[in-house]
Amino acid sequence: MLTIATEHLVRVRDLMSSPVRTIPADASIADAKRALADERVSAFAVISASGRVVGVLSTSDVCDPRHDSPSADVASAMTRVLYAVRPDDPALAAVRLMVREDIHRVLVVTEGGGLVGIVTAMDVLKAVAAGGGDSTTELVRLGP
């Protein structure tokens, strides 16, 4: 019997969650708080009226007292700086980006900018707990 060890690079697509939960930019903060609780997520990608991703809204954004006004909308509270990776990027690239920028999530977008997923700190922890990392070794057995 022949045993060959091969290395498999873990990609962003292997870690990401999909589909990404979204919320309209013009939704109220009150609606966003309810939706975050109902969907049991820590953030939404914020979508403009034209369907483009324009920000990220997290639980910490909606809990900020500066956004307590009944007229406050998601656009006024969201984080406008977007960090993104591509599905075929090494997973470690997403992790390094999150560490370097001190963020809890990165969006996953196609070459054309289409939103296809999100990688969160919890996604990374789940992969580590399952034995994933930047690469895994796979044993291939040939023969009887």
pLDDT band, residue 141 (cuts 50/70/90): low
Task: State the pLDDT at residue 8.
Answer: 58
Compute the average pLDDT of residues 62-81: 90
In the chain, domain spans: 2-142
Dump pLDDT digits (tens) for 44-65.
999 999 989 999 999 999 998 8
Question: What does each C-alpha distance from 100 to 8, 47, 83, 104 come to in angstroms?
Answer: 25, 26, 11, 11
What top-level class would CATH report for the domain 2-142?
Answer: alpha beta
Question: Three-state SS string across the chain, please?
Answer: CEEEEEEEECEHHHHCECCCCEEECCCEHHHHHHHHHHHCCCEEEEECCCCCEEEEEEHHHHHCHHHCCCCCEHHHHCECCCCEECCCCEHHHHHHHHHHHCCCEEEEECCCCCEEEEEEHHHHHHHHHCCCCCEEEEEEEECC
pTM for this prediction: 0.80
Dump pLDDT digits (tens) for 80-127.
999 999 999 999 999 999 999 999 999 999 998 899 999 999 998 888
Cβ burial of 92 (10 Å; 0-12, 13-18, 19+) is: middle
Nearest 10 degrees: CA dihedral of 83, 88, 91, 92? Answer: -80
